[in-house]
Amino acid sequence: MKIQDARDFVYGRSRGWCEVRIPGVCFGRAGNWHHRNTVGRVWAPSNGLHVCGSGSCGCHGWITEHPAMANEYGWALRSGQSSQLEPAVIASQGCWCYLTETGLYVPARDRAVPPMPNVDRPRRPQR
Ligand SMILES: [Zn+2]
């Protein structure tokens, strides 16, 4: 699939909002594409998430920095995992979803959603 076609499907699917939404990390509006499985960096709607931030901040940064934890949510896949066969936790749907190659969510409601990542937030300065 052409890169622009893959982007069009995924950015239409997200409606411009971050699909991951990690509390304390997320900026809300999505700004870029994240490859779930980075092997070959395949441009396919099942392999993409529309996320906030960049490689170093927001949900995109968190996924990049925590690949093992992100794998528990399907946001990052291991090399042998298929993006078509592995669902991802999608915030707007509140459940695991398979991501189709036409930019649709197919809920996988039989699978329990894990609690969102517990992110260390900066502490307020002591008075
Ligand atoms: Zn986000």
Section 3-20 average pLDDT: 98
- C-alpha 29 to ligand 1 mean position (Å): 7
Q: Which two structure tokens, joined as six digits, stand for 47?
A: 């392999």
Q: For residue 124, is pLDDT > 60?
A: no
Q: Is the pLDDT of residue 125 over 80?
A: no
Alpha-helical regions (H) of 32-99: 58-65, 67-71
Q: Is the dihedral of CA 44, 46, 47, 52 positive or negative?
A: positive
Specify the length of the chain in residues: 127
The reported pTM is: 0.91
Residue 81 pLDDT grade (very low, low, confident, very high; cuts 50, 70, 90) = very high
Centre of ligand 1 to C-alpha 59, Å, is 4
Instruction: Using the mean position of ligand 1's atoms as its centre, give its distance from the Cα of residue 127 in Å.
Output: 32
Domain ranges of the chain: 3-107
CA of 65 to the centre of ligand 1 (A): 14
The model's pLDDT over 19-30, given as tens digits with 9 standing for 90+, comes to 999 999 999 999
pLDDT at 55: 84
